[in-house]
Structure 1
Amino acid sequence: MPLTRARAALKSVFGYDDFRPGQDEVIGAVLSGEDVLAVMPTGSGKSMCYQLPAVVDGGLTVVVSPLIALMRDQVQQMGHVGVSAATLNSSNGDEANRETLRRIRAGEVSLLFVSPERLAGDGLVSLLAASKVKRLAIDEAHCVSQWGHDFRPEYRQLASVREALGQVQVVALTATADAATRGDIVSQLFPRPPRVVVHSFDRPNIHLRFEAKERPRAQIEDFLTRHKGDSGIIYAGSRDKTEKLADWLTGKGIRSVAYHAGLDPAVRARHQDIFLQEDGVVVVATIAFGMGINKPDVRFVVHADMPSGVEAYYQEIGRAGRDGLPADTLTLYGIEDIAFRRRQIDDKAISEAQRRVEQRRLSAMIDLAESATCRRQTLLAYFGEQRGPCGACDLCQGGAELVDATIDAQKVLSAVARTGQRYGAAHLVDILRGEATDTIQRQGHDQIKTFGVGTDKSAHIWRTIIRQLFAAGALAEASEEHGGFRLTEQGDAIMRGRETIALRKVKDAPARRARMSSTRENRTDGLDTAAAALFEQLRALRREIAQDEGVPAYMVFPDRTLIEMAESRPASLDEMRAVQGVGERKLVLYGEAFLDAIGSA
């Protein structure tokens, strides 16, 4: 039976006793020769779905990957478990690429990682066709679809590559693809219907939290106090902001690096290597960073600015907790984020059909941010998956409810209308609260009917109501250049009593420290004092070995493996072999060193 052989190789080569949920179905279909489209969340082990078949049945598997760094990382990982892998890319140098081509001709390579651009040129497809490729694995397959959130035209050429290779088996994998995107992938890549496997999108080890922007840097700093010494990613909306945030974190004593497409390529590569190879580094990045990042021990992801859509958000938070241990997220959002994302869509030179798709995606992201019900429930519903409240996200833990906010909305909308539909939130809040500032008196806004009608509420509550009205579409930007608000048709209908509106009930914000408290468990919760201390010793040993070998620490052993070692304290190589993540090659490479460390602790 193919799966029996696969399960044996999973243990002997990779050190794992059994498949993760969903892997067995995909791997079984691949080993049976079927074409497969697999939609599985980040951290579910998609790469194993083409790595293990290459080990079990031999031949050459060509893996299409979008990033050089990811290809290099996977080749290193395969080398560490004794699997022959190689990559052809521009960073290798001519001699290295010639040696790889020689190994391919000689049948010495099981996995070849290559970009779609490289497949399109240099006669590579002809060489591969002569080398009898067994299968074509396409990672980040959503990039093939014009309906995907990260469409790349080069991926459209892969159908012709498949044909040139002799209609070889195709395995396409992605973490995010709604029904329209899946349909487009199938039509682009497969001449006949493939086996489509859509695994649960739920990542229960990831804690979800959203906060409206009040004091963004203070909010980020409070969040990071619970993650001292952890590796994490902070996503920011601009290149300039990534550098400023990284400098600020460094000033706070947090090891951090910036990453964006505008950096010198050598600097960008060095920063990525620092993040991948060292523990406790925070990378502050634009969305240029992250696709395919294979670091399993990322403990948190922060969005300093609201993502462009739910797919992007889901894929970005999915880079945390790939090892299955607890991970944390924080997403900050505000009126300026919503306005910026709406302008981005309006300014794009795209078809009206595509514009509507992007508008729907942004609306879903706003709904997730402003939700009054379980975050996880809302997130999974977007992907067509129904479940009850998770009991673990910020809303399940802190509570939220929708209330009829029509009267408060009418006060805000009236203030907008009576001041000429051109002022921003700060001015409107001062009017509602009856603050006779110089500007308000100079404009005569202390004389309008709405002045002082909201003295029963704090400025924070009114700002939140205004943000929710903007998010709901009752208010729109008055001017791209100067900002401010104007009424929409919906806003006018609410103001005149033709429509009602429900908003999330707003409470005054308590002290920041109390609000940031969390019941999220840490990765070493449950370990006794001695085991926790041993875990840190093993982590230090792992770091020394990784530095000597010039590889990321997780390539030696992931945190989950070290935790199991600290708990079980193996005393022999046979006992070490039973630990999850210890395959035969790693047992030879590192077994004695870690046994010595455990024995001397």
Structure 2
Amino acid sequence: MAKQVDLNASLKEHFGFDTFKGNQEEVINNVLKGNDTFVLMPTGGGKSLCYQLPALMLEGTAIVISPLIALMKNQVDAMRNFSEDDGIAHFLNSSLTKTAINKVKEDILDGKTKLLYVAPESLTKEENIEFLKQVKISFYAVDEAHCISEWGHDFRPEYRRIRPIISEIGDSPVIALTATATPKVQHDIQKNLGMLNAMVFKSSFNRPNLYYEVRPKMHTSKEIIKILKNYTGKSSIIYCLSRKKVEELAETLVVNGIKALPYHAGMDASTRAKNQDQFLMEETDVIVATIAFGMGIDKPDVRLVIHYDIPKSLEGYYQETGRAGRDGGEGRCIAFYSYKDIQKLEKFMQGKPLAEQEIGKQLLLETVAYAESSICRRKTLLHYFGEKYEVKDCETCDNCVNPKEEFEAKESIVKLLNMVQLLKERFKSDHIINVLTGNANTAIKSYKHHELDVFGSGDEYDDKHWNAVIRQSLVKGLIIKDIESYGLLRISKAGHEFLKHPQSVMMTKDHDFDVVEEETNTGGTAAVDTNLFNMLKDLRKDISKKLSLPPFVIFQDPSLEAMSTYYPITIEELQNIPGVGTGKASRFGKEFVKLIAKHVEENELERPMDLVVKSVANKSKNKIAIIQGIDRQMPLDDIAASKGMEMDELIKELESIVYSGTRVNIDYYIDQVMDEDHRDDIFYYFKEDAETDDIQAALEELGEDQYSEEDVRIVRIKFISEVGN
């Protein structure tokens, strides 16, 4: 018991806490006894304390191997806050000057330093190895240990060299810690660090305060703004896969009145650090980031984590969602999913070594199964990490709150298990599904499986049905996916039992995300309010008569369609409708927004998310350069050549400029390339005869043999600019 009192007293003395969390106490006791220790503890569970406290209590210096410089700095700062002497904790990495390195080494040799944080790259440097040989090392802590495994979501080759270097410096006990590891990854870590006999401490991966939801990826930016409007003043993180998307989305959020900042590895270090600090200090609500963000962030009150793109693995997803609600309060996790994203990720893997591609594909398939499956999300996640969740409905995921239709699956399971058995447990799920549904592709033919009697025996159902049966049979433990062999299906003991005594099993249909179209930039959707559209057309006709202008000069049909979809009721909102710029909105918009507002009120309509999402102003350098070139009266073909554009592309840009309400004067160019009568004929056609601005209709009316398409388009630009703008 004496040891026990010492431990609690030390906890109070060094960190000011009265009690330990979870199994911290057992872990620390094991480290103090000098045993190798493996700690599997979810984000926010208090992993750091498991090596920090024993380091302070034991003689010598503990070496903490950590992958991120930002993480080390945070940890060192935190340790120094608990002590009067800054020498208590140091880091050794490429960011230090020679003088700073000498100071670190001096403090260690003087016995002041209890924790030394090093990156694996620094650990491999010969001079550091030689220096550490002179130091009394209490133990080695390998943080983010999943980086060791190729099956981990964050594989770092240099992590595989840690064991030989430890042996070279001098053996001491090892504690490996990670927040995400499947059974396969766990074994990999222990094997690589030579600690197969280590005591393993595994906490539950269940985070009961997190709500999990997957939505179809459609009009995603609009959906995100709608969600964020309900989280004003609360901290949120949005993860995107590309830096470009991070920048775009952060800009879109800002113009829609949301305090947001971007964060990715391509930004300079000081901006990145500044944005991170603003988020920590609550000067901004939202960080839009690539997965580079958050590894070293210990912000307990993140209330919302959104995945704009589905991550490459479930470990990555679990770790990123784990940044929400670390204080035990509300944490909402929403992922947007489209199978097209998965296909994109598969393309990125091409060109990598085959084994790496196979691993990457398996990890992606697990993510697909999570997104498309309609069973409890918590169950799926915990099963992935080798943990059973016995509760029928968690009540905190979209699948439990809105359950899908069920079907009797007994016969399907029997068919599936028999097929796995018949194919001698040597194939993956897609191959088994192809035999069941009778899809004789090349792989099936190469094994002559299309000649089997059972080929097509499950063709009354489609791939979706069989995928659902396989995914839910895995979670129920009737089949096992052999990860070592890249996902071959085998029958479990429970599966063999089921074949002997089949019984009724209800399963749910998977989600169907195939029907979802990807987000487009047009702003239009199929949900056009036809009544309003017709009313707007009538209004346009009235205004055109009053002003003696053709209707298309005022607003084109696609703009009226967008108005009939998003119901803009202010001039400011109208400016965000495609084809309506500031000029057009202020010149013609007043009566249109008045009509829309009246229609919305009379019909008690709920406007889509009650706001029209503002798009970021098009900062196309080409547009600015084109307008400047026209101001200098440069020939249009010279402007096109200077921008590396075809003439057709330049005309398209000019059309877009004038249709959104900006005025340009290209008379100087028209005077050079066509005679006056020719120009006036086209201009007069658009002013007096044209019912639409369609070029083909103009050519038919004017005579295709006398007028070229380019001439008609250029005069139409002059016409829209002068008459409409």
Q: Is the 8 A contact 1:404 1:500 kept in 2?
A: no
Q: Is the 8 A contact 2:92 2:104 kept in 1?
A: yes
What CA distance in whole angstroms lies between the structure 1 residues aligned with 2:609 and 2:142?
Answer: 43
Q: Is the 8 A contact 1:207 1:329 kept in 2?
A: yes
Within the candidate set 356, 359, 364, 1:357 is matched to: 359
Q: Are residues 501 and 288 of structure 1, via their aligned partners in 2, closer, same or farther at CA, if it must alter by over 3 Å?
A: closer
**Residue in 2 that maps onto 1:319:** 323
Q: Is the 8 A contact 2:90 2:104 kept in 1?
A: yes
Q: Cα distance, 1:20 vs. partner?
A: 1.3
Counting only pairs closer than 5 Å after superposition, residues 26-37 of structure 1 correspond to structure 2 as 26-37=27-38
Q: Is the 8 A contact 1:402 1:505 kept in 2?
A: no
List runs of 5+ in structure 1 lacking aligned partners. 406-468, 477-488, 517-601
What CA distance in whole angstroms lies between the structure 2 residues aligned with 1:58 and 1:255?
Answer: 48
Q: Cα distance, 1:493 vs. partner?
A: 6.3
Q: SS in structure 1 opposite 2:343?
A: helix
**Residue in 2 that maps onto 1:416:** none
What CA distance in whole angstroms lies between the structure 1 residues aligned with 2:98 and 2:254?
Answer: 38
Counting only pairs closer than 5 Å after superposition, residues 287-436 of structure 1 correspond to structure 2 as 287-345=291-349, 347-352=350-355, 354-387=356-389, 388=391, 389-402=393-406
Q: Cα distance, 1:149 vs. partner?
A: 1.7
**Residue in 2 that maps onto 1:24:** 25
**Residue in 1 that maps onto 2:617:** none
Counting only pairs closer than 5 Å after superposition, residues 456-467 of structure 1 correspond to structure 2 as none
1:346-394 deviation per Cα after TM superposition (whole angstroms, max 9, x unaligned): x142234x43333222121111111212111111011111112312222
Greater relative contact order, per chain length (Cα 8 Å cut-off, separation 6+):
1
Task: State the TM-score, normalized to the length of structure 2.
Answer: 0.56
Aligned partner of 1:92: which letter? L
**Residue in 2 that maps onto 1:54:** 55
Q: Cα distance, 1:288 vs. partner?
A: 2.0
Q: SS in structure 2 opposite 1:386?
A: coil
Q: Cα distance, 1:129 vs. partner?
A: 2.3
Q: Cα distance, 1:55 vs. partner?
A: 2.2
1:456-508 deviation per Cα after TM superposition (whole angstroms, max 9, x unaligned): xxxxxxxxxxxxx9xx999x9xxxxxxxxxxxx9xx96997475743436799
Q: Are residues 58 and 273 of structure 1, via their aligned partners in 2, closer, same or farther at CA, if it must alter by over 3 Å?
A: farther
Aligned residues: 434
Within the candidate set 244, 248, 252, 2:248 is matched to: 244
Q: Is the 8 A contact 1:231 1:298 kept in 2?
A: yes
Q: Is the 8 A contact 1:6 1:53 kept in 2?
A: no
Counting only pairs closer than 5 Å after superposition, residues 165-204 of structure 1 correspond to structure 2 as 165-190=169-194, 193-204=197-208
**Residue in 1 that maps onto 2:222:** 218
Aligned partner of 1:194: which letter? A
**Residue in 1 that maps onto 2:636:** none
Q: Cα distance, 1:192 vs. partner?
A: 5.5
What CA distance in whole angstroms lies between the structure 1 residues aligned with 2:240 and 2:222?
Answer: 15
Q: SS in structure 2 opposite 1:95?
A: helix
Q: Cα distance, 1:145 vs. partner?
A: 1.5
Aligned partner of 2:310: which letter? M
Q: Are residues 92 and 101 of structure 1, via their aligned partners in 2, closer, same or farther at CA, if it must alter by over 3 Å?
A: same
Q: Does 1:135 align with 2:139?
A: yes
Q: Are residues 240 and 494 of structure 1, via their aligned partners in 2, closer, same or farther at CA, if it must alter by over 3 Å?
A: farther
> Max radius of gyration: which structure?
2
RMSD value over aligned CA atoms?
3.2
What CA distance in whole angstroms lies between the structure 2 residues aligned with 1:188 and 1:513?
Answer: 58
Q: Cα distance, 1:191 vs. partner?
A: 5.3
List runs of 5+ in structure 2 lacking aligned partners. 410-429, 440-449, 466-508, 517-526, 528-604, 611-725
Q: Does 1:263 align with 2:264?
A: no
**Residue in 2 that maps onto 1:437:** none
Q: Is the 8 A contact 1:309 1:364 kept in 2?
A: yes
Q: Are residues 505 and 314 of structure 1, via their aligned partners in 2, closer, same or farther at CA, if it must alter by over 3 Å?
A: closer
What CA distance in whole angstroms lies between the structure 1 residues aligned with 2:121 and 2:282?
Answer: 31
**Residue in 1 that maps onto 2:70:** 69
Q: Cα distance, 1:9 vs. partner?
A: 2.2
Q: Is the 8 A contact 1:230 1:280 kept in 2?
A: no
What CA distance in whole angstroms lies between the structure 2 residues aligned with 1:350 and 1:19?
Answer: 45
What CA distance in whole angstroms lies between the structure 1 residues aligned with 2:511 and 2:267?
Answer: 43
Q: Cα distance, 1:249 vs. partner?
A: 1.7
**Residue in 2 that maps onto 1:458:** none
Q: Is the 8 A contact 1:320 1:327 kept in 2?
A: yes
Q: Are residues 505 and 40 of structure 1, via their aligned partners in 2, closer, same or farther at CA, if it must alter by over 3 Å?
A: closer
What CA distance in whole angstroms lies between the structure 2 residues aligned with 1:398 and 1:359?
Answer: 30
Q: SS in structure 2 opposite 1:372?
A: coil
Aligned partner of 2:372: which letter? E
**Residue in 1 that maps onto 2:45:** 44
Identity within the alignment, %: 40
**Residue in 2 that maps onto 1:12:** 13
